[in-house]
Amino acid sequence: MKTLSIRRPDDWHLHLRDGAMLEGVVGDTSRHFGRAIIMPNLVPPVVTTADAASYRDRIRAAMSPGDAFKPLMTLYLTEHTDPADVEAGQRSGLITAVKLYPAGATTNSHGGVRDMEKAMPVLERMADIGLPLCVHGEVTTPEVDIFDREAVFIETVLDPLRRRLPELKVTMEHVTTKEGIDYILSSKKNLAGSITTHHLIINRNAILVGGIRPHYYCLPVAKREHHRLALRAAATSGDARFFLGTDSAPHVDPLKECGCGCAGIYTSINTMSCLAHVFEEENALEKLEAFTSLNGPAWYGLPANEDRITLVRREEPASYPAKIETGAGPVTVFDPMFPLHWAVE
Ligand code: DOR
Ligand code: ZN
């Protein structure tokens, strides 16, 4: 038996949803994680500070009494977002970041930004006040192949934006390509990237070989193997610009297993076990804490969590459910396709 003690991790990109789904999933995150950046793509989205305050209250109400988990709230950027409201949200301590979804890029993103020019007043204010922009880095242009959308976004949207507003802090969320990793590595400041658990484990074959497997479908979609290897190298390097954002995104099974299935993979419950496996495979267990517990808080200007968790590796594989039951319906849990020997004690 091996053990590993690390500072309590945080999740810098999480979908908790609302209502019965929220109640069904929040405990899977709060069991292991101290904080999480909560995505605002509800229906309707979280667009104002008042929306974020009421969503935070619903999250707290869904948590068990005494649970110390802290949701870090974000605003969904629209072409009508009010810079003064964003600044007030940051000053009050409620708002940790603003999220850019290019319109149509993913689940509930139709209200996102079509014309970046219209968002410039808010982005300029954010650069002034040091509030980070979290980006879903994919173009939505129909002509661009889905496997190229991240690379084209960097070239046509992200890089021009960063040249125009070099003081804006940008988190490139769920990086899935070598181009994304190289872009982050090439930048000297104000750019960092989150990486999901599942993109360290699957490539696009998982979705398409031997039958179509909807539970491995997410956005940005998993890419070729050499991209996965670039993500692994970045995550396990210890480089402070890379940290965990699980993008755990629950959908009930009927909405995944159908003619037009939703994008999203549910990993909250087994993320730490999967990550310990990946870091051990890469001979980098000593870098796990930087990725899950140190680099993220440093980037967001927060202290690392004071308390610790212990991961234990046993000979017999750890057991976790294939599905969780929520009040909204069953949600399939990410299957890494290898036995998980590590578990959080
Ligand atoms: O796979 C995804 N699911 N990617 C996203 O960007 C959104 C998320 C969701 O909300 O379901
Ligand atoms: Zn997401």
Cα 1 to middle of ligand 2, angstroms: 35
Query: Can 145 be counted among the known catalytic residues?
Result: no
Cα 328 to middle of ligand 2, angstroms: 19
Cα 3 to middle of ligand 2, angstroms: 31
Look at residues 2, 106, 53, 38 and name the one whose alpha carbon lies nearest to residue 268. 38
| Tally of domains within the chain | 1
Q: What is the pLDDT of residue 105?
A: 78
Other beta carbons less than 10 A from residue 207's beta carbon? 17
Cα 263 to middle of ligand 1, angstroms: 5
Cα 99 to middle of ligand 2, angstroms: 10
Ligand nearest to the CA of 14: 2
Catalytic-role residue among 10, 85, 239, 247: 247
Establish whether residue 14 lines the binding site of ligand 1, counting it when its CB lies within 6 angstroms of any ligand atom: no
Q: Model pTM?
A: 0.98
Question: In degrees, to the nearest 5, what angle opens at C-alpha 164 toward C-alphas 230 and 298?
Answer: 50
- pLDDT, tens digit only, all 345 positions of the chain: 899 999 999 999 999 999 999 999 999 999 999 999 999 999 999 999 999 999 999 999 999 999 999 999 999 999 999 999 999 999 999 999 999 999 887 778 888 899 999 999 999 999 999 999 999 999 999 999 999 999 999 999 999 999 999 999 999 999 999 999 999 999 999 999 999 999 999 999 999 999 999 999 999 999 999 999 999 999 999 999 999 999 999 999 999 999 999 999 999 999 999 999 999 999 999 999 999 999 999 999 999 999 999 999 999 998 899 999 999 999 999 999 999 999 999
Ligand 1 pocket: which of 107, 265, 334 to mutate (most atoms within 8 A of CB): 107
d(CA 73, CA 226): 34
Establish whether residue 107 lines the binding site of ligand 1, counting it when its CB lies within 6 angstroms of any ligand atom: yes
Ligand nearest to the CA of 256: 1
In sequence order, what are the residues at sequence separation of 6 or more whose Cβ sits closer than 8 angstroms to the Cβ of residue 329? 252, 253, 254
Distances (CA, A) of 57 to 40, 60, 232, 286: 14, 5, 36, 37
In sequence order, what are the beta bridge partners of 324? 331
Domain range for 126: 2-344
Q: How many CA atoms lie within 13 A of 173 on its CB side?
A: 26
Establish whether residue 106 lines the binding site of ligand 1, counting it when its CB lies within 6 angstroms of any ligand atom: yes
- What is the number of the ligand 1 atom nearest to the C-alpha of 220? 4
- Residue with CA nearest ligand 1 atom 10: 107
Q: What is the pLDDT of residue 108?
A: 80
Distances (CA, A) of 98 to 46, 71, 131, 213, 260: 10, 14, 8, 32, 29
Other beta carbons less than 10 A from residue 103's beta carbon? 14
Domain at 166, CATH number: 3.20.20.140
d(CA 256, CA 215): 7
Ligand nearest to the CA of 108: 1
Establish whether residue 331 lines the binding site of ligand 1, counting it when its CB lies within 6 angstroms of any ligand atom: no
Establish whether residue 135 lines the binding site of ligand 1, counting it when its CB lies within 6 angstroms of any ligand atom: no
Q: What is the pLDDT of residue 111?
A: 82
